[in-house]
Amino acid sequence: MTVQDVVVTTELDLPAVRAARQARKDFLDRLEPLRKDLYAYCRRLAGNAYDAEDLVQESLARAFNQAAQANAPIQNPRAWLFRVATNTYVDGYRKQLPVPAELPEQTAPPATDPIEVRDAWRELVTLLPPQERAALALKDLFGFSLAEVADVLRTSTGAVKAALHRGRTRLDAPDRAVSLRGRAEPDRRLLDAVAAAFTAYDVPRLTSLLLENADSEILGMLNECGAEQIRDGSIEHTLDLTKPYRYTAEVVDLWGETVLVIRLVDSDGKSSVNDLMRVVAEDGKVRSISWYYFCPNFLAEVAAELGEPVILNGHRYPDGKH
């Protein structure tokens, strides 16, 4: 019998798996001071908040794997983490099929004024090729030296100078275009039904809107597979009537996408943004849910965009919970 012939039928919860969970938690705790900068960097690369948070999560997963395989201490964690994020972004960029779209005509000059460059980045979300975008972000927004940028991008300072020149030239081009990634929109009626059931704390109704094989991800924390597991996990944990506050859900058009904004309403009736749900639909039901509960930088940006207060939850559950 070969290894390929062995079929695993027992539950996969070995001591090594539990140890890996603890190691991942410790690893993310060590990187906690860098999370804000990492999100800001990914925000410049990805061009929108949704893709930025996805890039953060994928970069952290890759970083954990790479750290586990490193045979020497990581001397400069910030530069190393930015390098992992850059490579993750470049790999994802190569897989995308860009769709041209027009941008506003206002441009930022090819100077190094950080405020002007930052404003330009908000408009030129995905204009530049990945290496040029990374070089500009590291140099003009995060203050990396040419040598540090070269180290992150694994190239020469001459190549960095060339990338910066090309990038700034593109920023100043009057006929620039941008590549945006398309995402299929779920039926608005389905989202309205999800929001109504969620706000009413109607767990059976909410569960009935899920495909039997639906999946759910609380970004950076846990995954659930199947409607039953989602119901017994994230839904019932969230819609708990014993808690001294209530949650509401509202369908909102945000950054070109229709999503559900989750608000926490305290005992005094004060409402604050506390989470966001992105839904993928299939055959008129929910195929997958992404929860952004443990994405504080992303949620802060959501609340600022909506002009509302926010209650942030950190990057993970407190010790001893869940």
Assess whether 24 and 169 both reside in one domain: yes
Q: How confident is the model at residue 127 (pLDDT cuts 50, 70, 90)?
A: low
The answer to which of 65-69, 156-160, 231-235, 294-298 has the lowest mean pLDDT is: 156-160
Q: Which domain holds residue 144?
A: 15-180
Is residue 19 domain-shared with residue 168, that is, in the same domain?
yes
C-beta of residue 312 within 8 angstroms of C-beta of residue 300: yes
Encode pLDDT of 37-68 as tens digits. Answer: 999 999 988 888 999 999 999 999 999 989 88
Report the predicted TM-score, pTM, of the whole model to 2 decimal places: 0.72
d(CA 276, CA 271): 14
- CATH number of the domain encompassing residue 116: 1.20.140.160
- In the chain, the amino acid numbered 113 is D
In this predicted structure, what is the pLDDT of residue 90? 82
Q: How many CB atoms lie within 10 A of CB 182?
A: 11
Q: How many domains does the chain have?
A: 2
Mean pLDDT, the chain, as a whole number?
Answer: 82
My answer on whether 147 and 40 are in the same domain is yes
Closest residue by Cα to residue 52 from 104, 126, 109: 126
Contact 59, 35 (CB under 8 A): no
Kindly tell me if the per-residue pLDDT of 232 is higher than 90.
Answer: yes
> Does 199 lie in the same domain as 168?
no
Q: Is residue 8 part of a domain?
A: no
Is pLDDT above 80 for 210? yes
CATH number at residue 300: 3.10.450.50
Higher pLDDT, 295 or 24: 295
- Provide the 10 A C-beta neighbour count for residue 155: 15
112 or 307: which carries more pLDDT confidence? 307
Tell whether 89 and 196 lie within a shared domain.
no
The SS3 call for residue 246 is: strand
Question: How high is the pLDDT of residue 78?
Answer: 92
In the chain, how long is the greatest CA-to-CA distance? Answer: 67
Per-residue pLDDT tens for 58-110?
999 999 989 888 778 888 899 999 999 998 988 776 555 443 333 333 333 44
Give a yes or no: residue 5 inside a domain: no
Query: What are the pLDDT digits (tens) for 306-321?
Result: 999 999 999 988 765 5
Residue 9 lies inside a defined structural domain of this protein: no
| Shared-domain flag, residues 127 and 226 | no
Question: Is the pLDDT reported for residue 168 higher than 50?
Answer: yes
